[in-house]
Structure 1
Amino acid sequence: MKSTTRGTLAVVLTCVAAAATGAATASPAAAVPVPVPLEGAETALGMELPQIGFQLPTPRPGVPDGPRYVEGRLLPERTLPQLPVNSALPGADVRAPLPRLLGDDYDHLGVAAPASDLRTLSPGLDVDAPLTGPSRDHFGMPEPKLPEVGVLAPVVQTMPGAELVMGPGL
């Protein structure tokens, strides 16, 4: 292979690796705001109704950490890899009117629970065969051993938060 061909191939592989790494480490998917329209009901009922809005998450699957070959094992480590999924917890924003006892004005009571990042890893599986690798002591034949099976536990990471507010005006 010519040196120019090797150089071109190295540049292409570097660009592909950089693009894959950038896609894997991108920020978690944002939540899409969804308002609940209650203006028509306010007009029909002749009263103030709460203002409600939600934030719905859009999950984004990540790149799994593939199997790793380990010396001394016939099957690779992490036979069934864990799949990372980044998303957000659903959020909500509710503002309800509170009538004042004296007067015609309104105060408000609000609850804001913004969408918070959510990182998860699906369960995985780690399996090893009931045989060892080829052995010099047995003329290249594998030795029997106990099979190994392990379940990689799922992971969930998040930090939700909420805010309760009461104040004048709607």
Structure 2
Amino acid sequence: MTVVASNYARAANDLYQTETWATEVLLRHFPVSGISVWEPAAGNHLMADVLRERGAAVVTSDIVTYDRPHDTIYDFLNGGLLGVMSNRSAIITNPPYGKGNRDAVRFAELALDRCTGMVALLLTAKFDFGKTRRHLFQNNPRFMAKIALLDRISWAGNGETGTEDHAWYVWGPAGRLTPPTMLWGAK
């Protein structure tokens, strides 16, 4: 596949809905039954719905409300840790990327700081290539897996796929001693 520039004009707090199959790919490798999950960029809850269907207790937040209300309105990048969120076993989300993936880097850093359990972020497939991100991958003992998506996501929900490849990046609890794993998943 060739990555081409998108002609899509981005707007602040734009909604990128994650197709359900992308969340199901993560859960094939990392089941969530019985754990508590914070979905801090919940959008319209497509990811949260899949997590709940698979047995997770999910708390949702986002910077704005789209069509479905969240448990709380919360700016993950600029807010302090909310008490109700501090006892979650996992953070699983498709965070905002921002210019040059800067928001995604900050989101990953904050997620790892705020959650001692599993952190799973849906990001661009080349997100781990940046030398300024070694602290998240190469030099991070919590980094445990990358799951490359073999199909492209349709962000508009109309069946037309995007122009970028994506992957799940998964970090586990502190103290892991096993090397990271490379995995793949399709619809």
User: What TM-score results when the alignment is normalised by the length of structure 1?
Assistant: 0.22
Larger radius of gyration: 1
Between structures 1 and 2, the one with greater helix share: 2
TM-score by length of 2: 0.20
